[in-house]
Amino acid sequence: MSSETSRSAEAAATPAANGGAGGTANENVAARLAHYMRPGESRFFALPPLALYVHLPWCLRKCPYCDFNSHEWRGAAAEGSTADSALPETRYLDALRADLEAALPPIWGRPIHSVFIGGGTPSLFSPAAIERLLGDVRALLPLEPACEITLEANPGTFERDRFRGYRAAGVTRLSVGVQSFDDAKLRALGRVHDARQALAAVAEAAAAFETWNLDLMYALPGQTLAECEADLAQALALRPPHLSVYQLTIEANTYFAKYPPALPADDLASEMLDAITERTAAGGLERYEVSAFARPGHRAAHNVNYWQFGDYLGLGAGAHSKLTFAHRVVRQVRFRDPARYMAQALAGAAVAQDDEVAREQLAFEYVLNALRLREGFELARFCERTGLTLQAIAAPLAEAERRGLVTRDRVRVRPTARGFDFLSDLQALFLPPG
């Protein structure tokens, strides 16, 4: 259920996309690679770190606020599940392997910085399935030493000791989607779990993993400040090494967009965020990114790579990739529907669409991510990751400084507290003209 998978790709596909260039799957992969490698105006002298994202698209039930590529698996929810109603684990894993094999030429030789298995609800997959997945990944890709491998898990979707099975399969970090400890709020969010199951999941996570994340939401339907504070107090009492806190927002094409619940007013939501920021700090968690809080040594390496405009290969239904080549940055999107994705991936053609990030868009895309980090970004890294000179952001940077939204020295740009509070205004200064 990671936000990185929600980006839409609207530009036209390259001639090689869709596996529809008329050749064999191998010929189409080669044609796509040649297309990515052709000369161009930009110059990238160093490639950024490369992460791997794997999307497992099924959930027990679709939450009414969710706009991720997640699909209800009705079979899994059926009373007394039979083999026929089980998830198509084996076929999906076969598809992921075929997808990865076809994705190798453009990333050949690049080590993998981190792995994130997201969804959907990955904890619907058995530990044996995750072991096979990670075995395939290790067989085909060089993982960096101490590579962080995160798996998303939802309370109410696993039996006891399943988390230990994931740990034994090679997962190093668990991210638990708790959202709230209040049964009424969990019902309003359409979650399948209750507070008791959330607490049990966190206890299992803490017992099985040295590092783990707890996801919490605020500004929930009808939520008061006191209720938000009670949720946070419960979360902090569990001493999570990492906490992600998101405001509930109404996204297009969701049940809540059609039937909007009564949400707290903006002023109240701001008060909640102030309380969250204050109490997490008092609890020893540093707000190192707009929505992410961590104890020393427990930042999410995978997410930091996104925020630093690193590269990522996304495998699985609807997964997104961002890949840098000598002369361009390319985004890819895999087929979104799980059945279609499996068929396409097994035929060696999982990429539905790919497009080059326009040169004039790169500065904005960079700051959109990098200014989410409390420590901002190094000027040299901006040049390295965008292939642009500092001239490209000189004017908006000066304006942001004049408005008190950033500070800077010769090395680094940092958002101020005000810049953090008005992040979208700050980011908008970097939009390309027109």
Nearest CB to ligand SF4, comparing residues 122 and 264:
122
Residue 181, Cβ density class (10 Å: 0-12 exposed, 13-18 middle, ≥19 buried)? buried
Contact code string over 170-199 relative to ligand SF4, x by CB under 6 A: -------x----------------------
Specify the residue, 154 or 324, whose C-beta has the smaller distance to ligand SF4: 154
Element (H, E) at 383: helix 379-386
Q: Taking CB under 6 A as the rule, which mask of x and - marks residues 65-94 in contact with ligand SF4?
A: -x-x-x------------------------
Does the protein bind ligand SF4 through residue 319 (CB under 6 A)?
no
Q: Using the structure block, give the residue that is written with the tokens 């669409």.
A: 353
Compute the radius of gyration of the chain from its Cα atoms.
Answer: 22
Residue 59 is a binding residue for ligand SF4 (CB under 6 A): yes
DSSP string, 141-184: S-EEEEEEEEEEE-TTS--TTHHHHHHHHT--EEEEEEE-S-HH
User: Shortest distance, CB of residue 316 to ligand SF4, whole angstroms?
Assistant: 13
CB 2, min distance to ligand SF4, A: 9
Distance CA 102, CA 351 (A): 10
**Phi first, then psi: what are they for 82, rounded to 5°?**
-110, 175
Counting DSSP H helices and E strands in the chain, the numbers are 17, 17
Minimum distance, C-beta of residue 290 to ligand SF4, in the bound complex (Å): 19
- List the structure tokens of 423: 């992040």
* Binding window for ligand SF4 (CB under 6 A); candidates: 61-69, 201-209, 257-265, 314-322: 61-69
d(CA 5, CA 314): 9
Q: Is residue 62 part of the contact set for ligand SF4 (CB under 6 A)?
A: yes
Judged by CB under 6 A, which stretch of 5-13, 40-48, 56-64, 73-81 contacts ligand SF4?
A: 56-64
Name the residue nearer to ligand SF4 (CB basis): 341 or 364. 341
14, 154, 244, 303: which one binds ligand SF4 (CB under 6 A): 154
Binding mask 102-131 for ligand SF4 (x = CB under 6 A): -----------------xxx----------
- Rounded to whole angstroms, the maximal C-alpha distance in the chain is 64
63 binds ligand SF4 (CB under 6 A): yes
Q: Of 48 and 119, which has the nearer Cβ to ligand SF4?
A: 119
Tell me if 148 sits within 8 A of 83, measured CB to CB: no
Site size toward ligand SF4, by CB under 6 A: 12
Sheet with 377-378, strands from edge to edge, namely 377-378, 412-415, 406-408
- The residues that touch ligand SF4, with contacts defined as CB under 6 A, are 1, 59, 62-63, 66, 68, 70, 119-121, 154, 177
